Structure 1
């Protein structure tokens, strides 16, 4: 050890350069507390000291045990013996020792090579030691073996990198001990739960895709059917307009027929009244004909009596001789007149009988006409009532069809709005499918196991 230099100073920060005077070093070596501190540091840390050029001056047992060497193998050798092949030739390595030689401290985790060839990771602090003139005379490294932690961290980083690449089947199966075993178990449980979540999300995404496809298909079909329904509704509206016009015309015609039927009923009633008057007149003619017939009989009797009287007068005139000759002429004339009266009476009788027969026939026809007119009047009244009902029904039907036409027009407006909504639904379905495709692309980055339990789990309780 150089004169006036101690490996460890009293400063609590070993990362700072330490200046140790000769008398202070002696006092430090003699102080029991300092010795105890140095002993504690020596027992719990791997300590090695170097010259500024990297030549090893000393190493404690912890360092030698950590690296697998004996003291004789390392003292006098160079620091580069602990480096991987090719590392000492790198500019960064030479710059590091140049910085240490200039008094700059170095801290960090460093990879070193064990005597067996395996890697050893240490958390170390390189501290330059200065003399009274401020010149670096020694470099002390205080280190802790963190190989186990570094190995675990590297393993965890590798697993996490695979997980970041989407491999949810990754598991941490390396043998680790202590708190690292807990980390391994937590990692495995977390990845298993993540795998289950991703599997559930993939299943949900598949369901969403199926539902989205069905929604899109239904939306397309609904849009097509809505278009067809709109066209059919347009045709229905046109037919209803024609039907409404036809019903209106039918209603007008029914109203006109109703008026004509009412007039016909009135004329039928008037005809019945005329037939009744005719029957009364024919009855009067029958009475007159009977009176004429009776008077004709009286005339016949009168002609018969006159003829008898003329015969008697002729007989008396013949008895009177010449004095009755003039009276005989008169009697002959009276007899001739009586004969003509009898002939006229017979003719009148025949005419009267014919008249009675004709009057009787006319009366029967008039009665038949009266009955027929009464039946016609009843039928006309029924027809008038029916036509009135038809006219009223036609008016109501026209009103109803007008209401239906308005409803169909309103339905057409609603259907056009529904078609717009259907088109919007188709657009939204397409957007949803695009988002599902993007979601599938994201999920495709995850590598999953073949037989996964996708049932819900309460992970917080595990």
Structure 2
């Protein structure tokens, strides 16, 4: 039993279940062996004994049918019946030979072989007598055939049937012996199976009891240890036997008891130290609370002055923003004027281009008029050559020449006017371009003013944000200081509460019995936390921010 404690729990369970499995395998092997023997006997009966008996019986039936055919042919004497009889005899002889060959292959005993040889000999005599009768019928000797059938053939057939019956009887005897052997094998298998099953059950119960006892006892010891721990008894001792998991568990529980005992003693000592320290913390918190109140009052006054400075800087920032807005408007107007002048310049350029095109067209008109005048002159010359017949054509040519000269004169006048107008347009374009450059310089100057005002406004805004941040920081410092004052009070109260909790913890730890005595600390006198005077702080908050003077001068701050 003690050796089991040196085995792992898993090993024990494996051994126990292994024994059970081995017994089951043994029982199964015995059953399989007996079932195999029983199956061999049954197979011997069905596939050997009964098969040979059936084949011999069929051979006997075939011989009987052959004799019946001979008798029928001998009675009728008709050639058709004789031929049918001969065909039947040949078929019956072939099938009988096949059956006897199968029987011979299945015979394995000497007795069976002797009986089979007797059957073969009797069959030979029967076949010879039958063949004589067949030959007589074939030759037409019906009476002789009848005598042969009733005499020698009947005797040979009786001997043949007797040999077949002897072989069948022997096969039935063998089948009966095999059946008896099968029943005996079943009885042996039943007894062995019951015995092996009972042995397996007893061994399984024994293994179960041994393994269960080796597991439940350490578990019960562990439960007793946990019960002692629940009751605060740290002096309880646990015995660990063996090297298995449960022994390791018991050793771990024993180590835990030792650690908890040392921890409880340490907690008791620490509780006494905490009680002493909490009283000192309460006294220091009272002094710190008074100093924090004074610091909060100073921060309130500083915050009020910073609010006045913030208001003044905000006003300057607003003025700078207004000036920057006016400069932006002027810049927009200048940009619009510059854009309009640009459009005028584009329009003048278009007029100048149109005048050039008109001049080109007038030049073309002058050229056409000049060519027309030449053509009219040529026509007049040709009309003069024609004499009286060309007089009318000469008049027309004269009128055409006159119109061409007037057109040329009008074109020159128009060209002069266009050139004069083009010069004026060019002069106007130069003036407009100069006006555009002037507007651009004005816009650039306004843009510089706008940029400067923007920088002033941005700087003022940055100053405002910086002062606001300083003001917020001071306000936050004031809030933090007030919170610190409240926290100091809470710390003093917490120190008192911690002392009370230390007393409660000491009482709670006292429940554990460690077997050691810890010296108790002396009583600690806790100083009273005085009420904080908030009258000065309240007065500063009630006064609020000071009112700015009319001129907003804060240089004397």
Same fold at TM > 0.5: no
Which structure: greater helix fraction?
Answer: 2
Per the normalisation by structure 2, the TM-score is 0.26
Which structure: greater strand fraction?
Answer: 1
Per the normalisation by structure 1, the TM-score is 0.30
